[in-house]
Amino acid sequence: MTVIDANRMHEIEARYPEYFHRSFRQRFGGLMILIATLLYSLYAVWFLDLPKLFAEAHWERVGIYLSQWISYDVQPEFRIQDDGSIEVRYPRFSPLGDNPHPDWLVNNPDGSITVSISGTSRSVTVSKNKTIVTAHGVSVPVEVSSGAPKVIGPVPGWMTVYDDNVLADLGFAGNVSISVDRVKIRKRFIGWANFVFDTQSSFFDKPIGEVVSLIISEPRIKPDQSNLSLAFDDIWNNSEWQHGDVWTKLFQTIVMAFLGTLLGSLAAFPLAFLAARNITPNRLLNQILKRFFDFLRSVDMLIWALFLTRAFGPGPLAGSGAIFLTETGTLGKLYSEGLENIDNKPREGIKSTGAQTVLVHRYGIMPQIVPVIVSQTLYQWESNVRGATIIGAVGAGGIGLKLWEAMRTNANWENVAYMVILILIVVFLFDAASNALRHRLMGTKTH
């Protein structure tokens, strides 16, 4: 064991004072940051009133909306006539078409109708004087012959009795509303109804094999058009899913992102040389351009889109302009900072040979700055595909506007899911393409 005397100890302290005489900040800095973070978190909880917000939130709507993303419903209505017969009606534009005969609806010999909501475990039988709802292992009869519907026996927890109707909640499978003269049923199905062919198509409700046979070999459905062309038209002009309009708007979004980023990079490139202190030794010009970049990027792309839609009207031009203005400021700042951080030795060496300014920039600056320019521009291009979707919602065109219109109805959530999936696929593909192109141009390998 080595023993250190007092003189040796003083010598070590003098040589390494930062370890033996630490400042207050060095000793308690980490603890102070932790305490400040904790206090700020508590302040944020109080300021935003998060406990009340979470307590009053409608969490049940999350499940409802998510279920509507992946399903659709059919809503038959059973009207009880004076003679005791039951008339079945479907809403206009029903997913089942104009003349539906679903196999889950059975006409019984006694004149009643049985609807299977979810197999045999959940069903509804409608008759002249009584409706029987079967769910959760019990059958609950509801009398409908008097002035108001009346539940016979105890009322289960999944059934609610109002003054003029009885509502039975059958979970994801659907619900039943029973009144004196009619019964409304909402039956839910997994999937997207009529995604390929709508109810007006000549191929609607035909098996896949029959559709393929019609396209390949059968006689023409319309004498003046081939079955293949007819099938494509029916898919593209599907009135329920509007594939043609959705894909056109998606292409507009991609064009908006590309055009805005391209024009922004072309405008930012020369301005960055004027804003860089080591390239253009004019302090006033440097500061003016840098503050100009700050102004352009400090106004959010969404705000620029609002301004431009008022000036040019709704459409892709306003969206492209908003991206152009934002990217001019963002890329101008990134390019100028990249120029200010280059190594000046290659530039000075080329300049010492008497080369012209253009050649100095070409061989002394560009080889160093190109990787930064390529990387940042491709990243912004990829990011603007997402941004173009958002600004589309305020009238700048593209699929963002289409998505907002579907969300406003609060009923077409399956269409919302369709467009969200398309946007995710496009963003994923652009991300992969951007990374591959960036690594290829910069000469690095992907892992």
DSSP string, 398-424: SHHHHHHHHHHTTS-HHHHHHHHHHHH
Q: At what angle do helices 243-275 and 413-442 cross, to 10 degrees?
A: 40
**Where does residue 153 rank: exposed (0-12), middle (13-18), buried (19+ CB within 10 A)?**
exposed
Query: Domain 243-442 carries which CATH code?
Result: 1.10.3720.10
> pLDDT (tens digit, 0 to 9) for every residue of the chain, 447 residues total?
556 666 666 676 666 666 666 667 777 778 889 999 999 999 999 988 888 888 888 777 777 778 888 899 899 999 988 887 889 999 888 888 888 888 899 999 888 999 999 877 899 999 888 999 999 889 999 998 777 888 898 899 999 998 889 999 988 888 999 998 899 999 999 989 899 998 888 888 888 888 888 888 778 888 888 888 999 999 999 988 999 999 999 999 999 999 999 999 999 999 999 998 888 888 899 999 999 999 998 988 889 988 888 888 888 888 899 999 999 999 999 999 888 888 777 777 877 777 777 887 777 878 888 888 888 888 888 888 888 888 888 777 788 888 888 888 777 888 999 999 999 998 888 888 888 877 777 665 555
- Residue 255 backbone dihedrals phi, psi, to 5 degrees: -65, -40
Report the alpha-carbon distance of residue 134 to residue 159 in Å, rounded: 11
Extract the tokens encoding 73.
């419903």
Listed by start position, the domains of the chain span 72-190, 243-442
